[in-house]
Amino acid sequence: MEITATEYEAIKDYLYKNTLEPGKFEPMKCAAKVEVFFVCGKKKPGLMIEFCSEDVQYIVSTRIFLKKGFNETPYAAEIITDDNSIITSLESGNCYIFEFTVKYPSGARETIKRTYDLRGETVKFDEISIDLFGNEAARLKGDPLLKEAAIKMRGLNRLLPQGTAVGTMQVFSTIPGTIGSKAIMPSREILPVLHTVFTSFKTVDENKKAVIDAITHEYGHQLNQLTPADPNVDFDALFTRANKEAVIGIFCDGSYSADEQLGHPWDDPSELFASAFTVLTNYPVEFRDRLKNDPFSEEQKALITKLANYVYSRCYGRPFFN
């Protein structure tokens, strides 16, 4: 489902006013008839729920309840709604029940309930806090990989400009009633990841690689936003050329990581930057081997070298290749 430019701006303005960082929205598939946009913000998580227009004619009413134990009490929150979507902001640490009454094109009405659990656990490692949300929070609290994640964050924080260190990682679980959840729009103080990178693989080593790579990828986005671009390099043009010449695959972090779903560098220059940063940081030897052994032309190798040097210089202050 797509949202119009006008709707997008309205959503962005609303979330910004609720102390959330403006950014990119991506749909998140969930149970029949509904999509959820889950937003990670500085102070409050935000929630956008959109019903598929082909299924629902319009939303008749929306009620929000705060669930504590077996009790459900009405929750007062500002709700922005149109025919097919609602937007609101929520407080972390609570479990919410949304009750929607919707009308279908046939004239029939239905009441639908959805539970969104934002209760969590917080684990601290010196200056790094890790917030755990959702069904997996209690189990993840004792996972030794959390300490590995904090160590990686501490190291990558040294690459960020002074005063811009990331102090919190938020780990989101699957939201009940949905196929999956995804944290969108990280603020500059918060790093969002899915719990699946901690739990989806067969061995501890694979899970560790997935966690480290997911964190590194998100830091790549931070560095792309916070470090000054080289005015002599048109990175957007390099991205377009790399797509055209089919060399972006060498920068796909998912092709190196235990998490094959990680990274989509062909989407836009920002994603290419984040994926390239991950590969050059975590897999420098493997990257060099691929460049040497894969059947690239000399022109393709020159383009790959230019891309690698640009990203690495922005992040580390020196080129990857001398």
Q: Does 224 map to a domain?
A: no
pLDDT of residue 98: 82
Mean pLDDT of 160-186: 59
Task: Read off the pLDDT of residues 174-198 as tens digits, 9 standing for 90 and up.
Answer: 433 332 233 333 455 677 777 778 8
Q: Which of 157, 92, 86 is nearest to 128 (CA)?
A: 157
126 plus 190 within the same structural domain: yes
Task: Read off the pLDDT of residues 193-219 as tens digits, 9 standing for 90 and up.
Answer: 777 788 778 788 888 999 999 999 989
Per the structure, the count of domains in the chain is 3
Q: Which of 16, 17, 52 is nearest to 32 (CA)?
A: 52
Q: Does 322 map to a domain?
A: no
Q: Does 227 map to a domain?
A: no
Q: Which of 246, 240, 315 is nearest to 279 (CA)?
A: 315
Parent domain of 111: 5-117
By CB atoms closer than 10 A (0-12, 13-18, 19+), residue 308 is buried
14 plus 102 within the same structural domain: yes
74 plus 149 within the same structural domain: no
250 plus 182 within the same structural domain: no
Q: Does 229 map to a domain?
A: no
User: Which of 76, 92, 117 marks a domain boundary?
Assistant: 117
Q: Does 321 map to a domain?
A: no
Q: Does 225 map to a domain?
A: no
Q: Does residue 218 sit in helix, strand or coil?
A: helix
Beta-carbon contacts of residue 76 (< 8 Å; ≥ 6 apart)? none
149 plus 49 within the same structural domain: no
Distance (Å, rounded) from C-alpha 225 to C-alpha 157? 14
Q: Which of 180, 178, 217 is nearest to 196 (CA)?
A: 180
Buried b (16+ CB within 10 A) or exposed e, 244-270: eeebbebbbbbbbbbbeebbebbeebb
39 plus 136 within the same structural domain: no
User: Which of 117, 138, 172 marks a domain boundary?
Assistant: 117
CATH number at residue 75: 2.60.40
Q: Does 223 map to a domain?
A: no
188 plus 282 within the same structural domain: no
Task: Read off the pLDDT of residues 29-84 as tens digits, 9 standing for 90 and up.
Answer: 333 334 444 444 444 445 555 555 556 677 788 888 998 888 999 988 767 666 66
Specify the DSSP element, H or E, that contains 71: strand 71-74
pLDDT grade, residue 232 (50/70/90)? very high
pLDDT of residue 16: 45
100 plus 133 within the same structural domain: no
User: Which of 184, 218, 252 marks a domain boundary?
Assistant: 218
DSSP letter (8 states) at residue 250: G
74 plus 173 within the same structural domain: no
pLDDT of residue 15: 46
32 plus 104 within the same structural domain: yes
Predicted TM-score (pTM) of the model is 0.69
Mean pLDDT of 294-302: 95
Specify the DSSP element, H or E, that contains 151: helix 145-157
Yes or no: say if 201 and 223 are a contact pair by the CB < 8 Å rule. Answer: no
186 plus 245 within the same structural domain: no
Q: Which of 299, 274, 304 is nearest to 287 (CA)?
A: 304
